[in-house]
């Protein structure tokens, strides 16, 4: 089945930004349908399309350097629809092994975050800026736009990162690390980080 890109240039920027992220390394290694790199570009493009449909997609001002992908709480049936569509995409464009890796990691991480994160929290799924464009404030701009919105809504946000070097970046945006967990499929530690809205103090 042919895949039609919506944001290929931005997907390529995200791919370069996430080369050291264990989640995406594991996904790329699991690909059985054709070129692993091409499959990951499709995955990142689909993630942007998914965010536009079900969450929030923010693309850098130059329309090529990177993006931020947010998930927001959905009604149960809409969440099921989102999950079915993601499953179908991975099966057809990456393969069964990729689906198994994805579901194993996502299920494990959801189980660990559920007791620690409010049900109404927004989730920063992906943020990435091409290495050539980093250090210019693109990443901060993409994240802060939604943080301002969630502050007005009095909603918390959270994220999970496999990259220790990114922790200080998120801390500057008001996030704090609440747990460090070993993820068994990728065999790497990751951090859960949360941020309360400015009108909602930490407890």
**CATH code of residue 187:** 3.40.630.30
- pLDDT at residue 200 is higher than 80: no
Q: 161: closest CA among 119, 113, 104, 118?
A: 113
Number of domain units in the chain: 1
Say if 93 falls within a structural domain: yes
The pLDDT tens digits for 8-65 are 999 999 999 999 999 999 999 999 988 999 999 999 999 999 999 999 999 999 999 9
Say if 21 falls within a structural domain: yes
| Residues contacting 102, CB < 8 A, separation 6+ | 27, 30, 90
Domain that holds residue 50: 8-195
Say if 2 falls within a structural domain: no
Q: Quote the tokens at residue 50.
A: 């998914």
Packing angle, helices 8-17 and 36-54, rounded to 10: 110
Across the strands, what pairs with 58? 68
User: 111: helix, coil or strand?
Assistant: helix
Say if 172 falls within a structural domain: yes
What is the rounded CA–CA span in Å between residue 127 and residue 38? 19
pLDDT level of residue 107 (50, 70, 90 thresholds): very high
Say if 75 falls within a structural domain: yes
Say if 202 falls within a structural domain: no
Flag whether the pTM goes above 0.75.
yes
Say if 1 falls within a structural domain: no
Q: 26: closest CA among 34, 35, 18?
A: 18
Say if 80 falls within a structural domain: yes
Counting residues of the chain whose pLDDT is more than 70, the rounded percentage is: 97
Instruction: Please give the order of strands across the beta sheet that includes 122-129.
Output: 56-59, 66-71, 122-129, 157-161, 188-195, 176-183
């Amino acid at each position: 089945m042919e895949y039609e890109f919506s944001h290929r240039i931005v997907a390529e920027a995200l791919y370069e930004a996430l080369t050291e992220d264990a989640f995406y390394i594991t996904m790329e290694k699991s690909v059985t349908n054709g070129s692993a790199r091409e499959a990951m570009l499709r995955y990142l493009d689909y993630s942007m399309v998914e965010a536009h449909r079900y969450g929030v997609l923010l693309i850098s001002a130059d329309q090529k350097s990177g993006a931020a992908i947010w998930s927001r709480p959905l009604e149960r049936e809409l969440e099921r629809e989102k999950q079915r569509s993601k499953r179908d995409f991975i099966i057809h464009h990456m393969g069964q092994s990729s689906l198994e890796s994805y579901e194993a990691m996502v299920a494990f991480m959801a189980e660990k975050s559920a007791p620690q994160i409010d049900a109404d929290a927004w989730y920063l799924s992906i943020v990435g800026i091409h290495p050539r464009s980093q250090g210019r404030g693109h990443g901060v701009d993409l994240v802060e736009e939604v943080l301002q919105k969630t502050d007005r809504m009095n909603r918390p946000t959270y994220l999970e990162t496999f990259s220790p070097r990114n922790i200080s970046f998120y801390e500057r945006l008001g996030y704090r690390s609440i747990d460090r967990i070993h993820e068994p499929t990728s065999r790497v530690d990751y951090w859960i980080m949360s941020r309360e809205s400015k009108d909602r103090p930490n407890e």
